[in-house]
Amino acid sequence: MAVVWCPDWPVVAWGIPLDEPAMVVVANRVVASSPAARVEGVALGQRRREAQGRCPQVAVLERDLDREARLFEPVAAVLEELTPRIEVTGPGLVGFPTRGPSRFFGGDASMAAEVVERVEPVLARRGDVRVGVADGVFAARLAARSRAARAGPVVTEPDGAAAFLADLPIDVLEQPDFTDVLRRLGLRTLGAFAALDAADVVGRFGRDGQLSHRLARGEDEYPPDLRRPAPDLAVTWQFDPPAERVAGCAFAAKMLADELHDALGGRGLACIRVAIEAETEEGRTQLRLWRHEGALSAAAIAERTRWQLDSWLRQGTGGREGGGPGSGVVRLTLVPDEVVPAVGRQLGFWGGRNERAGDVTRVVARLQAMLDPEAVSVPELQGGVGPAERVQLVPAAAVDLAEERPATRDEWVDEPWPGRIPPPSPTRTHLDPVSIEIVDRYGAPVGVDGRGEITGPPALIRALESSDVLDRRSHAVEAWAGPWPADQRWWDPADHRRRARVQLTLDDGSAHLATLEGGAWTIEATYH
Amino acid sequence: MSRSAAVRALQERVAPVTLSREHTRPVPDPLAPLFAVGGLPQGQVIGFTGAGSWSIALALAGTALGEDGWLATVGVEDLGLLAAAEYGVRLDRLLLVTTPPADRLAATVAALTEAVDLVALAPHRTLGHSQARRLAATCRERGTNLLLLDGGRRWPLPTDLTITTTPERWEGIGQGHGHLQQRRLTVEAVGRRAAARVRRITVLAPGPGGGVAPAAPVALTPVADPPTDTLAPVADPLAGDSPVGASGSLLDTSVDTSVDTASVA
């Protein structure tokens, strides 16, 4: 396998020369930086402020995955001229089997040199290209990332992957929890780990240990016999009219990805390589393979599909969307190119912190597909006076259910809200408040005067409409409390609301929160 | 420990496996007498009916879910979420699903049982007989409890347990002063098989400081002293002059009259 790696791609995609300090942040953490920034002490995972403290002149960029994928497409395209079987792992990283191209160019070394020669003009000095060739993807990637690769392509001996890996530190497995254990056992290099007996590794570390062990020995993560010939599960979407913009394809990509993921899941399979195929109006077919170690989740497949379509749709238009006539996509097909037994490893996407949250997330996704995207929501606290106003519903798709959600904790809203009614809160907050009338014992309507005082003690209430909250009979008020006046947004004439609330307990044992607004009473909530 | 208790304890320890219907979820101590086995059996369908029954449902959910359990509601758009939190339901373990179309209700609930521990629902349409039977079987198999907040009116099968509440009295609220604080509630549970005997208890729900609490054995304590709430009682300065402490019965008319005449004057 050969791996072509463009280092610091998130920075390169922004068009910043690598000799200028720049960093890309996500949620205020550095996820990529230019070499010039690293010299100044900017490191991955640093907080944005800390990084700016070390390197005040650093340019701060937001991560833009779509842009990264789009700008990587020309690189992928020149490699595709060398060999049709390229596999993109992510923007900046692509691999391909070397057997064919190496024979054609007369050996791995000259093939690798050819790669560099073709990719460099595309990058136009904006970025760097590194090439590694080794037996497996893992070794090839490490070869591309090795120090020696800065000078030129690194080609390991055939069947020499294990020897090449042996001296590398164990951390290159990029599983901190696991390698930490290994280091404490005195295993500091891949070679030392690879020397262990495979059966012992499985016995002690389970499946994750086994996969890492295979990598350390220079084998592929999944042995060839585990890679089943993919069942015929290709999913297809016809566009009518042809899609010319990626926005129009995004929905199809999501639907296809979900469909594919469900079909695979039903057979206990997970996809580690997916082929994305599009046919244009002119009848031209384009195909690209995307690979992911572990397994591609439905969301990951959808995202890659969107990236790929975005790149294709902008082809030959100088980056503009909606290309020339005949370039619209009429058919999109996703083919699970390589599948492995699913072992729930994709839970790792949620950090493994809370497996339940992974199950819940999957169910939520299914319900969204089955009902509608807004059908499932989760509560968050917010400032407000009335019991219903103090909670807002957020679409479940908009939050990460596995993460801490501070907006659900009491401390989230701590400023005082005058007019709030002390707890306990009502167990039912009516979506459509029920109109009622309240009278005192002489039959005079009860109101609240300008000073926020009640005009007479409530004695009887009667519902003015049918509901399951209160029947239409008159009910005697047994006890009452309030009013709690609330003058909301008094500074905004359009949105100004004056309300007063009272608690009532009735002769049928029920208790309600009644609200007076604009002279009319309603039951806003019930202590059910 | 008596001899029989020792034997029982030993039996529990050596019992090889427990059947899924013997798996229970924890319940708040004051509500434990409602359950024949001392906890909420997993996979059961429970109906809640009567004023105050939602409080019991939330109190059960709050304890049964523990730290990491998930609750989903289906078509209960009017659930008081603040109250849920006060009863111990974690808002970050709560999914709210809008009312699905009638033909997808069963599928929606069945999907939820794969990931959540409790599903609270108040369906707007009656479920079909066979659908309900399948759903009940799914719940039994996965251990998910269905909480029917409409008392099971639209559930065509008998529920495993029906909890009926009758509110006795609210405390903390008077005639224009105080606020709702705690409620004495009679709770009755009757079910099938082991739960066929009617069990009745009286609790405070909500109790002092939220949650459910055991009710004092004698219910003679009148309304508590008006709490020194800065907002409520002083809203009507006259209410401060009127005698307080009587519960809201018809006998209070004298109090009301005095207020009325005073306000006229």
Q: What is the mean pLDDT of residues A414-440?
A: 87
Chain-chain contact of B94 with A452 (C-beta, under 8 angstroms): no
pLDDT level of residue A351 (50, 70, 90 thresholds):
very low
Give a three-class secondary structure readout of A363-419: HHHHHHHHCCCCCEEEEEECCCCCCCCCEEEEEHHHCCCCCCCHHHCHHHCCCCCCC
Q: What is the mean pLDDT of residues A78-82?
A: 86
pLDDT at A352: 41
pLDDT at A446: 94
pLDDT level of residue A326 (50, 70, 90 thresholds):
low
Q: Closest CB to A379: pick one of B96, B210, B235.
A: B96
- For A456, which residue in chain B has the nearest alpha carbon? B260
pLDDT level of residue A231 (50, 70, 90 thresholds):
low
- What is the least distance, in Å, from the CA of B236 to any CA of chain A? 6
CA distance A389 to A314: 46
Give B80-116 pLDDT, tens digit per residue.
999 999 999 999 999 999 999 888 899 999 999 988 9
- What is the least distance, in Å, from the CA of B104 to any CA of chain A? 8
Q: Which residues of chain B have pLDDT under 50?
A: 20-21, 219-265
CA distance B151 to A461: 26
- For A409, which residue in chain B has the nearest alpha carbon? B91
- What is the least distance, in Å, from the CA of B50 to any CA of chain A? 8
- Interface test with chain A among B82, B86, B99, by most A beta carbons within 10 Å: B82
pLDDT at B124: 77
CA distance A68 to A63: 9
pLDDT at A228: 55
pTM: 0.53
A377 pLDDT higher than 50? yes
Give a three-class secondary structure readout of chain B: CCHHHHHHHHHHHHCCCCCHHHCEECCCHHHHHHCCCCCEECCCEEEEECCCHHHHHHHHHHHHHCCCCCEEEECCCCECHHHHHHCCCCHHHEEEECCCCHHHHHHHHHHHCCCCCEEEECCCCCCCHHHHHHHHHHHHHHCCEEEECCCCCCCCCCCCEEEEEEEEEEEEECECCEEEEEEEEEEEEEECHHHCCCEEEEEECCCCCCCCEECCCCCCCCCCCCCCCCCCHHHCHHHHHCCCCCCCCHHHHHHHHHHHHHHHC
Q: What is the mean pLDDT of residues A162-175?
A: 87
Highest mean pLDDT among A19-28, A168-177, A193-202, B67-76: B67-76
- Interface test with chain A among B77, B179, B180, B255, by most A beta carbons within 10 Å: B180
- B221 by Cβ neighbours in 10 Å (0-12 / 13-18 / 19+) ranks as exposed
Strands B24-25 and B40-41: antiparallel
A178 pLDDT higher than 50? yes
Instruction: Note whether A10 and A63 are within 8 A (CB).
Output: yes
Q: Closest CB to A427: pick one of B54, B100, B107.
A: B54
**Element spanning A437, H or E:** strand A428-439
Chain-chain contact of A440 with B107 (C-beta, under 8 angstroms): no
Least confident segment among A126-130, A416-420, A480-484, B184-188: A416-420
pLDDT at B145: 94
- For A477, which residue in chain B has the nearest alpha carbon? B248
pLDDT level of residue A460 (50, 70, 90 thresholds):
very high
- What is the least distance, in Å, from the CA of B234 to any CA of chain A? 9
CA distance A83 to A96: 8
Chain A residue numbers with beta carbons less than 8 Å from the beta carbon of B231 are 419, 484
pLDDT at B17: 52
Q: Of residues A26 and A476, which shows the higher confidence score?
A: A476
Sign of the CA dihedral A302, A305, A310, A311? positive
Q: Of residues A127 and B29, which shows the higher confidence score?
A: B29
Chain-chain contact of A479 with B247 (C-beta, under 8 angstroms): yes
Q: What is the mean pLDDT of residues A5-17?
A: 87
pLDDT level of residue A201 (50, 70, 90 thresholds):
confident
CA distance B196 to B194: 6
Give A44-66 pLDDT, tens digit per residue.
888 888 888 888 888 888 888 88
- For B167, which residue in chain A has the nearest alpha carbon? A509
Instruction: Note whether B220 and B158 are within 8 A (CB).
Output: no
Count of residues in chain A = 528
At A149, list the tokens.
């690769």
- Interface test with chain A among B231, B234, B247, by most A beta carbons within 10 Å: B231
For chain A, state the CA radius of gyration.
Answer: 31
Q: Closest CB to B248: pick one of A354, A366, A478.
A: A478
Q: Of residues A277 and A347, which shows the higher confidence score?
A: A277
- What is the least distance, in Å, from the CA of B215 to any CA of chain A? 17
Q: Of residues A225 and B8, which shows the higher confidence score?
A: B8
Q: What is the mean pLDDT of residues A69-77?
A: 85
pLDDT at A321: 53
Q: What is the mean pLDDT of residues A457-467?
A: 92
CA distance A522 to A419: 17
Chain B residue numbers with beta carbons less than 8 Å from the beta carbon of A525 are 80
Q: Closest CB to A379: pick one of B53, B81, B210.
A: B81
User: Which of B86, B55, B68, B54 lies closest to B25, judged by CA?
Assistant: B68
pLDDT at A102: 86
The DSSP symbol for A492 reads -
User: Which of B229, B151, B157, B78 lies closest to A481, judged by CA?
Assistant: B229
Q: Closest CB to B115: pick one of A363, A421, A457.
A: A363
Question: Number of residue pairs across A and B with CB atoms under 8 Å?
Answer: 197
Average predicted confidence (pLDDT) for chain A: 83
Q: What is the mean pLDDT of residues A334-351?
A: 61
Chain-chain contact of A454 with B236 (C-beta, under 8 angstroms): yes
pLDDT level of residue A320 (50, 70, 90 thresholds):
low
The DSSP symbol for A333 reads E
pLDDT at B27: 92
